[in-house]
Amino acid sequence: MIINSPINLELTQLSGQTSQPPWRQMDGCFSDVVLVGGKPVLFNVKQSGDCLDFSFTGNIAEKEAVSRLNYIYDLDFDLNKFYKYLSNHEELKDMSEFCNGLRLFLAADPFECVISSICSANNSIKRWTKSISDIREKWGDNHFDDYYIFPDKSIFQDLYEDDEEEALFEDSVCGNNLKSCGVGYRAPYMKKACEIFTDEIILSDIPKMTYDEAFETILKVPGVGPKVADCILLYGFNFKEAFPSDVWIKRIVSYLYFDGKDISVSKVRDFGMDEFGDYAGYVQLYMFHYARMSGLMAKLKK
């Protein structure tokens, strides 16, 4: 079926949003298993003009499947209205040309987004997406011929952090632990996050909070700073007022708005949230990819 909402599927899939790794791609079709009401469903999407051609396999109603797809790709967000907003701001007006059709790629599993976002800290897109894919394949349930879902918190909390911990309990050759998936120093932070969201904080309560409440709640997780917290809230829970800020966003904002002056990352975050309001998350997403695709990032590297 055709979903009549404009999107650039490949750009959205490969944009490095920390909600999840890109879906499996074959012959222009992106596929993954999504839990809908606790039931595994195989989603298949491909580009059709500027819209999506969608099919699914699973024991759910078409209305349920379409609703879930609309959420994951944020298809109810009015891109044309957003592009009018960009065009009315001199600093932003060229961004829709370079990022046309880019949408939020929201988490099918918020817990996976928490772990993905922690894994992305000081990491490349290629490395963190491989790590999360490896975690899926090692410990996630297998559906529809080798499509793996991210392991549930009840499974994740029992994973070994590294070879040393594994060797204390297993006689076999080590390699069945988080660090074997390339997560490095982030392994204990991931385990602690699992513990907190199992024993102290209910993930499904996060969307009911105000943004500030949710932000402070996520910051309670060791190893999670403001950038990762904002990523979790934006890509995991669709808080569009989030403005994840790091050194690259700082350089871009400084170039566009502050004549290249050196300003702190925290001030950039405050500026983005105040300046762009409910569009902050989308502006940040477009800023980053505009800088990559227009040559601005290469200029700023110098």
**CB-CB contact of 183 with 177 (8 Å):** no
CB atoms within 10 A of CB 41: 21
- 64 band by pLDDT with thresholds 50, 70 and 90: very high
Contacts of 273 (CB under 8 A, 6+ apart): 241, 242, 243, 280
Known catalytic membership, residue 220: no
C-alpha distances (whole Å) from 226 to each of 232, 277, 278 are 10, 17, 18
pLDDT at 168 over 90: no
pLDDT at 300 over 90: no
Tell me the two tokens of residue 8.
């650039």
Placement of tokens 């772990």 in the chain: 115
Mean per-residue pLDDT for 77-105? 96
Contacts of 210 (CB under 8 A, 6+ apart): none
**CB-CB contact of 135 with 118 (8 Å):** no
pLDDT at 166 over 80: no
- Give CA–CA dist 86/34, Å, rounded: 33
Least confident of 272-276, 292-296, 298-302: 298-302
Mean per-residue pLDDT for 216-238? 96
- Give CA–CA dist 229/18, Å, rounded: 11
- Give CA–CA dist 276/294, Å, rounded: 21
Angle subtended at Cα 37 by Cα 69 and Cα 203, rounded to the nearest 5 degrees: 90
List pLDDT tens digits, range 178-204.
999 999 999 999 999 999 999 999 999
Nearest to 272 by CA among 259, 290, 254, 260: 254
Task: Name the phi and psi angles at 205, rounded to 5.
Answer: -80, -20
List pLDDT tens digits, range 238-278.
999 999 999 999 999 999 999 999 999 999 999 999 999 99
Catalytic residue among 153, 227, 240, 250: 227
C-alpha distances (whole Å) from 28 to each of 13, 24, 52, 55, 158 are 12, 10, 12, 14, 37
- Give CA–CA dist 25/23, Å, rounded: 6
**CB-CB contact of 268 with 275 (8 Å):** no
Mean pLDDT, all residues of the chain: 94
